[in-house]
Amino acid sequence: MEDQEIIELYWKRSEKAISATEEKYGGYCYAIAYRILQNDEDAQECVNDAYFSAWRAIPPGRPEKLQAFLGKLVRNTSLNRRKESHAQKRGEGQIPLALSELEECIPAVTRVEEYGESAELTNAIERFLYAQTQPKRNIFIRRYWYLSPIRELAKEYGMSQSKIKSLLFRMRKELKTHLEKEDFLL
């Protein structure tokens, strides 16, 4: 089923909207939640919570990209669940580590959250990422959106861990410069 058809089901308040969403994006949503939580039951519960959030948000909203919309909902739900549980060792410490890496180009986590909803920041980051080669863009997204560990990225892309760290370091510096040129206060 196409995304617009699924969105129409939400607008009609048809319960088929949730099952269609699960069928098309269930694996995608679960993968995001599991990467953050490292627990099957918590991940499934967060996916269900994200579907409920989608049910409440559509209508009145009408997302342009359903996959991105769902990904954001499940990621935020999972991060909140993880924060509430105070389980520092879950997820191999990837969340605090990845966020601390980003502090170099976006100094405070509160700033990231502050700008997180901002369409301008989103567009500026997208412009930066789409100016990169596809492998670099994918590595950056996998690290900072999906919170993939460095060793996993190194294995998948056939690079050493130090090469991945170096690449990410340079990209963060470039992103900081890019955001400063776009007049974001860092």
Q: Which of 97, 114, 99 is nearest to 184 (CA)?
A: 114
* Span 98-132, pLDDT tens digits: 766 777 676 443 444 444 446 677 788 889 999 99
Q: How far is CA 121 from CA 87, 117, 126, in A?
A: 30, 8, 8
Distance CA 92, CA 165 (A): 17
Residue 87 has pLDDT above 70, yes or no: no
Write down the pTM of the prediction: 0.68
Q: Which residue has the tokens 């301008």?
A: 120
C-beta of residue 98 within 8 angstroms of C-beta of residue 145: no
Buried b (16+ CB within 10 A) or exposed e, 167-176: bbeebbeebb
At residue 38, the 3 state secondary structure works out as coil
Distance CA 31, CA 148 (A): 11
Residue 90 has pLDDT above 60, yes or no: no
| Structural domains for the chain | 3-87 (1.10.1740.10), 91-181 (1.10.10)
For residue 9, how many C-alpha atoms fall within 13 Å in the half-sphere facing its CB? 17
* Tokens of residue 99, six digits: 């966020």
